Amino acid sequence: MMYRVIGRLPAPLLAGAAILLALLLCAAAPGTVAPYDPLAFDYAALLQPPGRAHLFGTDQFGRDILSRTVAAAAIDLQIAVLATVGPLLIGTVVGLLVGYYGGIADAVFGRLVDLVVTFPFLVLVIAIVAVLGPGLGNMYVAITAVGWVFYARLMRSEVLVLRGQDYVSACKVLGYGQARILLRHVLPNAARPVIVYWMTDMALAILLGSSLGYLGLGAQPPAAEWGVLIADGKNLFTQAWWIAVFPGFAIVLAGIGFSLVGDGVADLLDVKR
Amino acid sequence: MSRAGLVAARLLQIVPTFLAIGAVVFVLARLLPGDPVSAMLGDRATEEAVTRLRAQLGLDQPLWTQFLLFAGRMLHGDFGTSIALRVPVTAVIAERLPATLVLTALATVLAVGLAVPLAFVAATQAGRWPDTLIRAAFQVGLSSPIFYVGLLLLTVFAAGLRWFPVGGYGDGVAGHLYHLLLPALTLALSFSAVIMRNLRAAILEVLQAEFVDFARSKGLSRRVVLFRHVLRNALLSTVTLVGLQVGTLLGGAVITESVFAVPGVGRLMVDSIFARDYPVIQALTLVLAVIVSLAFLVTDLVQMWLDPRVAR
Amino acid sequence: MTAALLRVEDLRVGFAAPGGTVRAVDGVSFAVDAGEIVGLVGESGSGKSVTLRAITRLLRRTATVSGRAEWRGRDLLALPERALRAVRGREIATIFQEPMAALNPVLTIGEQIEESLAAHGGLDRRARRARAVELLGLVGIASGAQRLRSYPHEFSGGMRQRATIAIALAAQPMLLLADEPTTALDVTIQDQILKLLTRLSAELGMAMVLVTHDLGVVAETCARVCVMYAGRVVEAGPVGTVFARPRHAYTAALLRSMPQGGAARQPLVPIPGQPPRLDQAIPGCPFAPRCGFVEARCWTDAPPFSQVAPAQWAACWAAERVGAC
């Protein structure tokens, strides 16, 4: 039964899911995938190029790059979730309410959206991080403070379409409570494009999180995060390219994984983008 | 409404936008940790100097008066003095802004130049191998962080092959362009992926339009049908997209400039955060938002000019 | 009998679909003589529009087309792309149902007329402009010189269809393929456009194939009619004969389902059921499940398209009984 369901899913979705499951395994049990302790120095194997003993080579302290890349999956997947779940929840609630009730709140929200899109997203996030101070936690706060607007905008436009449809009017005629109409009838239908957007946004979050990590504004060393690892290797790039190149592969792979799953889910839920 | 009326209305909209941008930056500045005066004067300032600066900055006034004072100073281009560089913020930004503008403009040109032909091939070959290949390449492009692409290009073409300088801005127009070509290419690769995805979809949609069948039924050549009828309509949405993406592009410039050591405002922004140079951060946030809102304005005007249906 | 201008023979068009190939057009044959107006009539989905578009190969790449479309001795379906382009617009022009969709929204009417003229050569810029104004006058659009600078959205629905007709007439074609040219228009405008088309056909000696679902339109404009059902021509003949004495059960049912001016008032009888699915092979007559005259062999053997009266053909086993009604 299970096998049959999987067999019917589109191939890109399965490929994306496989990538994400592999990354999830790295994050949950790095020990089973990584051949070495990611933090162990090995002065007998400094700056080793990729080879049999060290598949991805070693850095200037003899740390195994494969193990470090695997270990970093935990933080980057954490970024994918924590940088998006706040915007998702806040944006869904706000979008649902302003879309359904309209009025002054909706008008104010419209102006807010116009305003927020005027600021370059990254610049605004960086400015907020500047206020709060660099670090993962503050990065989440900054991304959430700006990012929820985009979820709310999407949710609002969906709710506006649904609000005009017959079955919602029918619910009102039947005297259903507001909460019941919103939660049982509007939310499940309006949520589909939001969920698809969430998938692609997780890919963007990893790109954003690793960029901030690279700039020194996100995850702080010695925490293993792909962007931080690349920043570690950037000065040695000409002598030991592998230190920065392999963590970069991981980012690209994760991005493709989320995108494939996002496209697949969009097809399954029949969401047009 | 007439076309001129529409243009005037759109031009007027910029006023409240600027006010709102100022308000956001003002609020952001109020949220800054610590007292701006002690941040500016340092910890060893005398009591008297602190009081004088507070009065000078209007910090002893009520909040709304402070906002008006703030707005007034912004209108005069007075953003205070950089804490780290000890020169007027306006001078620093004026010095750094050209590099960023040239970088983003060059990146836009490269991105459009790359995306339009490839989107065209992908859409006209939809479902066949060239389409699959192009879409796969751009999927990788969309999933690659800018700093990583920059680092790869830097290593291969600057450090390795020595075709390009490793960083900096160079001298003269030719020198600037030469130094900015690799950073612009970095920025363009991710930008072109966005354009190509949008334009491919737009071309496919226009290909379904009946006016394409009608154009073919007139006996027009394939070239005329594709360029005059299909591409021209599809590019309308690309113009809007490029305008809407200016903010993303400036965000990308922040990262690219850091990778390539380009002395633009993006790198200035990152440096200022580590230097806790709040006046510069505040001014840059405002200036970049103003640039984006001006880009939106230009996009709308170009759209009105290109699409005869808008003015009605 | 003179040689026909256009002779379509055993035309078949299939579209690949998840459930199998959809046979949108399944062996259609008909001919058009010079200057003649032929109606192609049927319900939506009967394959009439697809037939029309297949003649000058305007269908999408997903369509597979076979058969012959003989145009003045040459098979259009086998013609190289370049030679076909010289026929399109120059010898055979097409107009569509929805003029707003058929006109490019970002080009002026003038540009769209002139590009047609330019494609078939012979005129310089100034002559093209003059000809464009003349064409607008021909289709009843006054002050053409100013109208050339207008965009499609600045025209009314009827004006837009007049403009597409002007574009189609630009290179003086010998045949106009008109795909439901009045369906999207207001009733009062419909009549004007039909009168314009018949007038132009007569004045210019231009033949026309008129695709429509409206029997009234056929009666008003056409000399001959082909009735289509499920991708086939089920009956063909002079309009007067076919409408007065239909020999195919479907034609008869179609006539009874529509109000007819002039004829004695009779109650309208809708045709029960739905047209058949075209993604599966149909044994026998495709109309059998909805037919009031159905016999046993209708379910198993396809009726041949045979002559039932002078100049009248029908593919119906019950042609005699239908004709006797």
Assign A217 to helix, strand or coil: coil
Rounded to whole angstroms, how far apart are CA atoms C226 and C30?
8
Share of chain B above pLDDT 90, in %: 47
Q: Is B306 exposed, middle or buried (0-12, 13-18, 19+ CB in 10 A)?
A: middle
Residue range(s) defining the domain that contains residue A234: 11-34+62-269
Q: Is the pLDDT of residue A236 over 70?
A: yes
**In which band, very low, low, confident or very high, does the pLDDT at B41 lie, cut at 50, 70 and 90?**
low
Q: Is there a contact between B219 and C89 if contact means CB atoms under 8 Å apart?
A: yes
Q: Where do runs of H (alpha helix) occur along chain A?
A: 2-8, 11-28, 30-33, 65-101, 103-116, 121-132, 136-163, 166-173, 178-180, 187-215, 226-233, 242-268
Assigned domain for A149 exists: yes
Chain C residue with minimum CA distance to B228:
C107
A183, A57 Cβ separation under 8 angstroms: no
Rounded to whole angstroms, how far apart are CA atoms A56 and A66?
5
Q: Is B4 exposed, middle or buried (0-12, 13-18, 19+ CB in 10 A)?
A: exposed
Of the given ranges (A220-224, B121-125, C220-224, C300-304), which has the lowest mean pLDDT? A220-224
Which residues numbered 17-76 in C keep a CB inside 8 Å of some CB on B?
Answer: 53, 56, 58
Domains of chain C: 6-91+173-324 (3.40.50.300), 98-172 (no CATH)
B286/B69: higher pLDDT: B286
Assign A85 to helix, strand or coil: helix
Amino acid, single-letter form, for residue B155: T
Q: Is the pLDDT of residue A237 over 80?
A: no
Q: Which of A119, A131, A255 sits opposite B289 (nearest CB)?
A: A119
Q: Which of A114, A120, A252 sits opposite B248 (nearest CB)?
A: A120
Amino acid, single-letter form, for residue A169: S
Assign C31 to helix, strand or coil: strand
Chain A residue with minimum CA distance to B153:
A237
CA B251 to each of CA A187, B114, B289: distance values in angstroms, whole numbers, following the listed order:
33, 21, 11
Q: Where do runs of H (alpha helix) occur along C26-176?
A: 48-55, 81-87, 99-102, 109-119, 125-138, 144-147, 157-169
Task: Give me the mean pLDDT over the B36-54 stretch.
Answer: 71
Assign C52 to helix, strand or coil: helix
Q: Is there a contact between A131 and B32 if contact means CB atoms under 8 Å apart?
A: yes
Assigned domain for A207 exists: yes
Chain pair B-C, CB pairs under 8 angstroms = 83
Beta bridge partners of C39: C210, C225
Structure tokens at B36: 């701006």
Assign A153 to helix, strand or coil: helix
Rounded to whole angstroms, how far apart are CA atoms C54 and C25?
9
Of the given ranges (C40-54, C140-154, C252-266), which has the lowest mean pLDDT? C252-266
Pick from C134, C177, C213: nearest CA to B213: C177
Q: Is the pLDDT of residue A51 over 90?
A: no
Domain boundaries along the sequence of chain B: 89-311
Q: Is C140 exposed, middle or buried (0-12, 13-18, 19+ CB in 10 A)?
A: middle
Q: Which of C101, C105, C120 sits opposite B219 (nearest CB)?
A: C120
Rounded to whole angstroms, how far apart are CA atoms A192 and A271?
7
Look at residue C99 in the predicted model and tell me its pLDDT.
Answer: 86
Rounded to whole angstroms, how far apart are CA atoms C6 and C34?
8
Q: Which CATH superfamily is domain B89-311 in?
A: MetI-like (1.10.3720.10)
Share of chain C above pLDDT 70, in %: 97
Task: Give me the mean pLDDT over the A88-112 stretch.
Answer: 91
Look at residue B312 in the predicted model and tell me its pLDDT.
Answer: 45
Which residues numbered 191-210 in B keep a CB inside 8 Å of some CB on C?
Answer: 209-210
Q: Is there a contact between B21 and A227 if contact means CB atoms under 8 Å apart?
A: no
Q: Is there a contact between A130 and B152 if contact means CB atoms under 8 Å apart?
A: no
Q: Is the pLDDT of residue C203 over 70?
A: yes
**In which band, very low, low, confident or very high, does the pLDDT at C264 lie, cut at 50, 70 and 90?**
low
Rounded to whole angstroms, how far apart are CA atoms A80 and C105?
43
Torsion region of C102: left, alpha or beta (phi above 0 gives left; psi -120 to 50 gives alpha)? alpha
Assign A25 to helix, strand or coil: helix
**In which band, very low, low, confident or very high, does the pLDDT at A138 lie, cut at 50, 70 and 90?**
very high
Look at residue B36 in the predicted model and tell me its pLDDT.
Answer: 62
Q: Is the pLDDT of residue C65 over 90?
A: yes
**Full 3-state SS string of chain B:** CCHHHHHHHHHHHHHHHHHHHHHHHHHHHHCCCCCHHHHHHCCCCCHHHHHHHHHHHCCCCCHHHHHHHHHHHHHCCCCCECCCCCCEHHHHHHHHHHHHHHHHHHHHHHHHHHHHHHHHHHHHCCCCHHHHHHHHHHHHHHHCCHHHHHHHHHHHHHHHCCCCCCCCCCCHHHHHHHHHHHHHHHHHHHHHHHHHHHHHHHHHHHHCCHHHHHHHHCCCCHHHHHHHHHHHHHHHHHHHHHHHCHHHHHHHHHHHHHHHCCCCHHHHHHHHHHCCCHHHHHHHHHHHHHHHHHHHHHHHHHHHHHCCCCCC
The sign of the torsion formed by the CA atoms of C179, C185, C187, C192 equals negative
- For all residues of chain B together, what is the average pLDDT? 87
Of the given ranges (B5-14, B52-61, B212-221, C113-122), which has the lowest mean pLDDT? B52-61
| Distance between start and end Cα atoms, chain A | 31
Q: Is the pLDDT of residue B243 over 70?
A: yes
Amino acid, single-letter form, for residue B216: R
**What is the number of other CB atoms lying within 10 angstroms of the CB of residue C146?**
11
Assigned domain for A188 exists: yes
Assigned domain for A99 exists: yes
Q: Is the pLDDT of residue C261 over 70?
A: no
Compute the 3-state secondary structure of chain C and give helix, strand, coil in percent, each to the nearest 5.
Answer: 35, 20, 40
Of the given ranges (A156-165, B59-68, C40-49, C98-107), which has the lowest mean pLDDT? B59-68
Q: Is the pLDDT of residue A200 over 70?
A: yes
Exposure string for A173-189, b = 16+ CB within 10 A, e = fewer: eeeeeeeebbeebbbee
Q: Is the pLDDT of residue C33 over 50?
A: yes
Structure tokens at C84: 């076909």
**Full 3-state SS string of B158-214:** HHHCCCCCCCCCCCHHHHHHHHHHHHHHHHHHHHHHHHHHHHHHHHHHHHCCHHHHH
Look at residue B27 in the predicted model and tell me its pLDDT.
Answer: 84
**In which band, very low, low, confident or very high, does the pLDDT at A189 lie, cut at 50, 70 and 90?**
confident
Share of chain C above pLDDT 90, in %: 54
Residues from chain B that touch C164, judged by Cβ atoms under 8 A, are: 214
Beta bridge partners of A121: none
Cis ω on the peptide bond leading into residue B165 (within 30° of 0)?
Answer: no
**Full 3-state SS string of C56-74:** CCCCCCCEEEEEEEEECCE
Q: Give the distance, in angstroms, between the CA of residue A205 and the centroid of all CA atoms in the same chain.
A: 4
DSSP state of C79: S
Chain A residue with minimum CA distance to B276:
A130
Chain B residue with minimum CA distance to A236:
B155
Task: Give me the mean pLDDT over the C181-199 stretch.
Answer: 88
List chains touching C (3+ CB pairs under 8 A): B
Q: Is the pLDDT of residue A140 over 90?
A: yes
**In which band, very low, low, confident or very high, does the pLDDT at B40 lie, cut at 50, 70 and 90?**
low
A30, A71 Cβ separation under 8 angstroms: yes
Look at residue C1 in the predicted model and tell me its pLDDT.
Answer: 44
Assigned domain for A54 exists: no
Beta bridge partners of C69: C8
Residues from chain C that touch B228, judged by Cβ atoms under 8 A, are: 107, 115
A228/A167: higher pLDDT: A228
Q: Is the pLDDT of residue C262 over 60?
A: no
Assign C303 to helix, strand or coil: coil
Backbone angles phi, psi at B307, to 5 degrees: -105, 110
Rounded to whole angstroms, how far apart are CA atoms B307 and A209?
39
C-alpha angle B272/B276/B281, rounded to 5°? 50
Q: Is the pLDDT of residue A1 over 60?
A: no
Torsion, CA B175, CA B177, CA B183, CA B184, rounded to 10: 180
Assigned domain for A45 exists: no
**In which band, very low, low, confident or very high, does the pLDDT at A5 lie, cut at 50, 70 and 90?**
low
Look at residue B150 in the predicted model and tell me its pLDDT.
Answer: 92
**In which band, very low, low, confident or very high, does the pLDDT at C45 lie, cut at 50, 70 and 90?**
confident
Interface of A with B (CB under 8 A): 111, 114-115, 117-124, 126-134, 203, 207, 210-211, 214-217, 227, 230, 234, 237-238, 241, 244-245, 248, 251-256, 259
Task: Give me the mean pLDDT over the C83-99 stretch.
Answer: 91
List chains touching B (3+ CB pairs under 8 A): A, C
Q: Are strands C74-75 and C63-71 parallel, antiparallel or unpaired?
A: antiparallel
CA A106 to each of CA A97, A102, A116, B20: distance values in angstroms, whole numbers, following the listed order:
9, 5, 15, 17
Q: Which of C95, C103, C106 sits opposite B307 (nearest CB)?
A: C106
Mutation target among B93, B151, B276 for the A interface, most CBs of A within 10 A: B151
Rounded to whole angstroms, how far apart are CA atoms C254 and C223?
19
pLDDT one-digit tens code per residue, B257-295: 999 999 999 999 999 988 888 889 889 999 999 999 999
Residues from chain B that touch A238, judged by Cβ atoms under 8 A, are: 155, 159-160
A190, A162 Cβ separation under 8 angstroms: yes
Share of chain B above pLDDT 70, in %: 94
Q: Give the distance, in angstroms, between the CA of residue C186 and the centroid of all CA atoms in the same chain.
A: 20
Assign C308 to helix, strand or coil: strand
The count of structural domains within chain A is: 1
Look at residue B35 in the predicted model and tell me its pLDDT.
Answer: 61
Q: In angstroms, what is the C-alpha Rg of chain A?
A: 22
Contacts of C70 (CB under 8 A, 6+ apart): C4, C6, C7, C8, C9, C76
CATH assignment at residue A93: 1.10.3720.10
